[in-house]
Amino acid sequence: MRTRSLWEHTLTFFPQFLATLRERITPDATVTVVGASDGKFVLPLAAAGYHVIAVERDAVALHGGSVRLPGDSQAHAQGLIDRLRLEGLHNRVQVVEDDFLTCEPSRLECEAIWTSCSWHYSANHHRPLAEFVDRMQRLVRPGGVFGAEFMLPVEGRHLTIEHYTSPERLRQYFLGDWEVLLTLRTNEFSERPHVGQLHHHTHRMGLLMATRMSPFAEHIQEENA
Ligand SMILES: C[S@@+](CC[C@H](N)C(=O)[O-])C[C@H]1O[C@@H](n2cnc3c(N)ncnc32)[C@H](O)[C@@H]1O
């Protein structure tokens, strides 16, 4: 890529998600990215051939603008829309500038959905985590894939906010027609400063990937039972 995301260096389980997409959905399927930011994941998905729906509420992340960087410097950042145009990928991506919790869901339906460290943002704390997860799940067509990486609590204040969660607590939302494919969690790790976190800081991260079983798959399971 000729352009770079401001989040390029943050830890991610995205390669596991991409490998799962290659196994389970068709190469031209639609993938929705919730909290798309400046496109760290949107661009590789589009470059891989997927049609991408990118949902983001932050205007600077989408259109570019002035951002504070580590070292107390201010810089102009490219937004997702400029990056897509510069990389020649804009025809494969539909950008939805909206709050995921309130936007019209029918235009976000997909074969796979991905979010990276978005639901712990304070703007989402007024609604239960279950609602965020449920909205994501409903968009995934049968046979499709759900992937989320998320923050686990590290500070005392996080323990009072359910949006800092764990793979174990998330599992309760994946009963019925959902099958959990993979959960992962890190120990505490320190990360160097980046946009949004201007000093060295500590995280713990988790991953949950699941598939929405298709009625056909359930039928086969019943027959084999
Ligand atoms: C930590 S950043 C993303 C960093 C990540 N590494 C990446 O590039 O995808 C999370 C993004 O989610 C967005 N976000 C959080 N809650 C949202 C919501 N309810 N609707 C839309 N975007 C949301 C934030 O504005 C932010 O840009």
pLDDT score for 124? 98
Q: Cβ < 6 Å from ligand 1: which residues?
A: 5, 7, 10, 35, 37, 40-41, 55-58, 61, 99-101, 116-118, 121, 123-124
pLDDT score for 224? 58
pLDDT score for 225? 57
pLDDT score for 125? 97
Separation of 62 CA from ligand 1 center, angstroms? 11
Nearest-CA neighbor of 174 among 150, 148, 210, 206?
210
Minimum-distance ligand 1 atom for the alpha carbon of 40: 8
Write out pLDDT tens, residues 83-126. Answer: 999 999 999 999 999 999 999 999 999 999 999 999 999 999 99
pLDDT score for 218? 55
Domains identified in the chain and CATH numbers: 14-224 (3.40.50.150)
CA distance 139 to 80: 22
> pTM of the predicted model, to two decimals?
0.94
Neighbours of 110 (CB within 10 A): 22
Separation of 223 CA from ligand 1 center, angstroms? 42
pLDDT tier for residue 72 given thresholds of 50, 70 and 90:
confident
Torsions phi, psi of 178, nearest 5? -105, 140
Mean pLDDT of the chain: 94
pLDDT score for 197? 78
Residue 209 has pLDDT above 60, yes or no: yes
Per-residue pLDDT, averaged over 144-167, amounts to 96
Best of 9, 43, 56, 131 for a ligand 1 pocket test (most atoms within 8 Å of beta carbon)? 56
Per-residue pLDDT, averaged over 138-144, amounts to 97
172-177 long-range Cβ contacts below 8 angstroms, 24+ apart = 173/130, 173/133, 173/134, 173/137, 174/146, 174/208, 174/210, 177/142, 177/212, 177/213, 177/218
Separation of 182 CA from ligand 1 center, angstroms? 22
pLDDT score for 217? 61
Best of 13, 84, 118, 191 for a ligand 1 pocket test (most atoms within 8 Å of beta carbon)? 118
Residue 221 has pLDDT above 60, yes or no: no
Residue 74 has pLDDT above 70, yes or no: yes
Separation of 56 CA from ligand 1 center, angstroms? 6
Enter the tokens of residue 187. 């120990």
